[in-house]
Chains A and B, each alone.
Chain A
Amino acid sequence: MVAASAPGALLSIRDVSKAFPGVKALDRVSLDVSGGVVHGIVGENGAGKSTLMKILSGVYEKDSGEIVFDGKVIEKTTPVQSMHMGLAIIYQELNLVNTMSVGENVFLGRFAESGGRSGVHATARKLLDSIGCKVDTHKQVSELSVSDKQMVEIAKALSFDSKLIIMDEPSSSLTDDEMQKLIKIIADLKSKGIAIIYISHKLDEIFGFCDVVTVMRDGRVIDTKPVGELSRNQMIAMMVGRTIENEYPPRPDCAGETILEIKDVHTRKLKDVHLTLRKGEILGLVGLVGSGRTELVRALFGADKVAKKTVLLDGKQVEIHSPKDAIRLGLAMVPEDRKLQGLLLGFSVEHNISLAVLARLSERGFINRKAEAGVSDRQIKALNVKTPSGKTKIRSLSGGNQQKAVLGRWLEMSPRVLVLDEPTRGIDVGAKYEIYLLMKKIVEDGGSIILISSELPEVLHMSNRVNTICDGRINGEFDPAVASADEIMAKAFEFA
């Protein structure tokens, strides 16, 4: 371990640049990270955070500049070498082998020198205990929650005697409870003199437990400052390069009579759920990951087979057996996982946008391609999707613009009910605000929205009504204008 008082920085990055064909991903970036410090890095998507981390871990090679880690100049490295040097990265999409046990994952590829099967499990146990994680080392990783998987990653990092642990958006799929656990572990690692680089979109986390923060934008470091010296608005302004007055637009207020009612939903997860939605309303659905919130909207949309459910639209019972049925009735859903469930990454922006109305654009089986291009251009313009053209592959767009394209797909059919499952996950502040404005416009035009989000402030600011879901049951209803975040969270955690 490096003592916290070691002279100079543990990691020193000097004027590092990296260009990809057509983009300057990093432009003379300099950064110092000291031992025992939690160093936050914030910036919009495309600011260069991930590129910098990938250079550190050896996935990419830098074009110029100097990196000194633990007194050694690093020229060229591979991910394995950097782990052995004591530099560990925990990626957002965790890098574990799902079909192997916890212990085997911690010592992946190092069984022999770790004392064979029994040695691996014993040492893994110790490491996990040291961070207060109780998960059985013989359990298969696929059975773990995201939070426990992160613990395994941290244990793996500790097994290398890491001096620097980089966490890339670790909180994006954690519940508040699990987040508290992670914060405790970070504090613990810090007290051992380990440096943490904490990459996040969530300013609450940066202000909550980071010591120093570096703001990046367009491949450059804008500034590095102790967290105490920055206000929230200053930080946002630095990130987006302009001042954003508010993070949220004013709450829409146009809820009318009930248009949708879901009841008697029974699945393995859901127990007798009853939910109503009014015209022009944004209904927030708050629950932990695994509470049944996603299962509920998927059941409504016909995405999963359900033993029993009753759906009333305008008071009349409707049958929804597939997404196609749901779409025909004017329902739309932006799914939780944008890359896996929302996008067709290898296809053009145009083909991604036209998807939901493609059948309507077809006559006697033939696609009206002019109309298709028209739909795409209209939505690109309306939603301000930043893309060279509709023919560009959607893969090359930033997360925020990809999400806007997915929204455009549904807006074209003017949905009566729009389900948004984590609509702003992994999206930068500017694009988030645009999506909030869009939500407002949808309900003002007479649509209704069911909003699921792990970011409570988002739900509190945007919803007209909040239902909590816990262990497969709707167990509370709140008026977000008057209810406090604590009250709502307490209800969502009720079964514990």
Chain B
Amino acid sequence: MSAATEPAAGRFTPQSALELIKNNPIFVAIALLTVVTSVVEPRFLTTDNFQNIVIQFGNLIFAALGMTFVIMAGFLDLSIGGIISLVAVVTVTMIDKVGQGPAILIGLSVGLGCGLINSALILTAGALTQAESLFITYGMSLVFGAVALMYTQGVTQFLTYSKSDISVFNAINSGSVGPVPVVFLMFVVGLAVLLVIERRMYMGRAVVLTGGNKVAARLAGIPISKSIVMIYAISGLMSAILAVVLVSRATLADPTMGTPWMTPAILAVVVGGTALIGGRGSVLWTVFGTLLLVLLNNCLNLLGVSSYVQFMFRGVILILAIWLDTAKQNAVRK
């Protein structure tokens, strides 16, 4: 099925809302987390903290949205850390050479190119299992990261010292259109485009079908190779967008800055309910998965939980999400 056919995803009636909650424990989790945290920690409901949450969400969501397509097709992309690092340093160093607009375009092209390289390697190797894609993209993550280090000689590039105009980056960091922050606008546009591809377009369906059963889909004429190229291209491009956002926020580009983003991106997708084995999922679900992760992170920070323990929480949540999904699938099968 594609999520498009689910009544829960389209019309909203009281009944479908109830079903939605029952089938999506994530809403309950988000609500519970919000209520409990606001009670035990008054700082949670302050404007400062709200802005904090929005910023964190606005970062992770780009990588997670891109990753959703990859996972829906039954693959994984561990290379996004390397891609983010590479795009960040290339973008920043290009500003003084070609100006900020072209620099961003070059950065996005590099991200897209990295994704295309990933898919070319996977197709050439005939590596059509999830495990194979995992190892290939992990390898490429090292390669992309190494290129970023070689390119900068390991030196952090500062945006603030740029001789050129960096108004676009400033706008991404703190600008807003009316009351709406620029990054939020970018998120809404990105989500809308991906949602249309997922639910309305032939290639979106091809991606989910690939995740459902590659062999059967191919025998029915569905373009599997094209789907693979598309998912990695989207993942690469979305990682590049995140890189530009991160550069704008930090006003610097570090050749290792992408590394911490890979795990939470996958986590957000899986927690959102997209099946790790592929064939079922939605970018819309990923929005809620990301929100839950960001809220949890924020809550643990406010409560002063050490980052070591936070890592454990992440692990537990991932296992819980997969366990819940498997249990749900088994119930369907019986």
Contacts and interface: CB of A to CB of B under 8 A. Distances in A.
Bound together: yes
Interface of A: 20, 301, 303, 322-324, 326-328, 333, 335, 340-348, 350-351, 355-356, 358-359, 362, 365-367, 369, 391, 393, 395, 409
B202 A358 contact: yes
Given A345-B213, A366-B200, A351 B220 contact: no
A335 B220 CA distance: 10
B328 to A, nearest CB: 12
B200 A391 contact: no
A347 B217 CA distance: 12
A366 B202 contact: yes
- For chain B, give the interface size range: 20 to 34
A342 B217 CA distance: 8
A341 B221 contact: no
B216 interface: yes
Contacts of B4: 369
30 contacts: A20-B334, A301-B219, A323-B218, A323-B221, A324-B221, A327-B220, A335-B219, A341-B215, A341-B216, A342-B216, A342-B219, A343-B213, A344-B213, A344-B216, A346-B279, A347-B1, A347-B2, A347-B209, A347-B279, A350-B5, A355-B209, A356-B220, A359-B202, A362-B202, A366-B201, A366-B202, A367-B202, A369-B200, A391-B5, A409-B220
Interface string B198-231: 0011110100010011011111111100000000
Q: Which 6 A-B pairs have the closest CB atoms?
A: A362-B202, A355-B220, A344-B212, A327-B221, A324-B221, A344-B213
Contacts of A358: 202, 205, 222
Interface in B1-47: 1-2, 4-5
Contact of B200 (A346, A355, A367): A367
A369 B2 CA distance: 12
A54 B1 CA distance: 29
B251 to A, nearest CB: 39
Contacts, number: 86
Contacts of A345: 212-213
Given A347-B279, A356-B220, A369-B200, 6 more contacts: A340-B215, A344-B209, A344-B213, A347-B209, A351-B2, A393-B1
Q: Is the interface of A mostly helix, strand, loop or mixed?
A: mixed
A369 B204 CA distance: 13
Nearest to A327: B221
B202 A323 contact: no
A373 to B, nearest CB: 9
A348 B220 contact: no
A323 B219 contact: yes
A295 B147 CA distance: 45
A141 to B, nearest CB: 21
A62 B215 CA distance: 37
B216 A340 contact: yes
B163 interface: no
Given A347-B209, A351-B1, A367 B201 contact: yes
